[in-house]
Amino acid sequence: MSTPAAAKLGAMLESPGILSFPCCYDALSARLIERAGFTLSFMSGFAVSAVRLGLPDTGLISYGEMIDQGRSICACVSMPIIGDGDTGYGNPVNVKRTVRGYAAAGFAAIMIEDQEWPKRCGHTRGKRVVARGEAVARVRAAVDAREEGAGILILARTDALATDGLEEALWRARAFSDVGADMLFVEAPTSREQMEAITSRAPGYHLANMLEDGKSPILTDDELTSMGYKLVAHPFAALGASILAMKKALAELKMGGTPEDRISFKELREDVGFGEYYREEERYLSDISDLDE
């Protein structure tokens, strides 16, 4: 049985149209993404490692840190969140525990990949993938956890294109689908031709990763729709913009000035939820006042 979040995402997958979304990394970024009108987001492991640890996405962040961050994110918004589950943090038995933990944290789906540990960002150097059997076993274990009660959707990722070529990546994507993965993600294609081959030769709901300055072509939602993609992630749209804004503001402060590009304190209070808090507080203050009279 699906969780409410997974059921919501499942309905979105079955509905017409592409699902294009920025990735989040903490509760505030998720809140802002939802307020901007997006109906889905993905908790990026790269971004969480950056903001929580100040470290690169090279396997340094742990399961416990990821799930703690995800719990805060899922509690802050009503839209479905896909969680980056990396390699599942161990063997297939560990994968099952990871899937159950992400479900309990409130995620609609979890991504499991076939890299060796420590994993790498998909658009950086040093990637290595596990053998076919282990890769498929990870996804099978994730699917088993889903069927045994976790109830969240499984996004299966392969990084084999960079290490072993397109044919191996396609074989793995098809194998992941055959064992029950709900969505597929072949990471870092380097051309339109590869992207078209991925969606045409490995049927399913495919995710495209639109990383500026990465290895893949940056395409519009219309172009990706015509290729057969269903989901489009923009992994660093929010993180990159926020880092740029902070660097600019800090440079202005260092020069003795005041940051020019900033929101008002009133808007800041609203963005972090003071308005909602005050409205909720008022309900109970009136109850207290009535009872004390």
Check residue 122 and give its pLDDT.
Answer: 67
Instruction: Enumerate residues 6+ apart whose C-beta is below 8 A from 193.
Output: none
Check residue 288 and give its pLDDT.
Answer: 66
Please name every residue paired with 21 in a beta bridge, in sequence order, or none if there are none: 233
Model confidence at 289: pLDDT above 80:
no
Fold of 4-243: TIM Barrel (3.20.20)
Check residue 290 and give its pLDDT.
Answer: 62
Going by pLDDT thresholds of 50, 70 and 90, the confidence category of residue 123 is confident
pLDDT tens-digit series, residues 18-67: 999 999 999 999 999 999 999 999 999 999 999 999 999 988 999 999 99
User: Structure pTM?
Assistant: 0.93
Check residue 37 and give its pLDDT.
Answer: 98
Tell me the pLDDT of the chain averaged across its residues.
Answer: 94
Model confidence at 266: pLDDT above 70:
yes
The ranges assigned to domains in the chain are: 4-243, 263-292
Distances (CA, A) of 124 to 217, 218, 239: 15, 17, 17
pLDDT tens-digit series, residues 93-108: 999 999 999 999 999 9
pLDDT tens-digit series, residues 125-183: 778 999 999 999 999 999 999 999 999 999 999 999 999 999 999 999 999 999 999 99
**Which residue type, as a one-letter code, is found at position 176?**
F
Check residue 293 and give its pLDDT.
Answer: 59
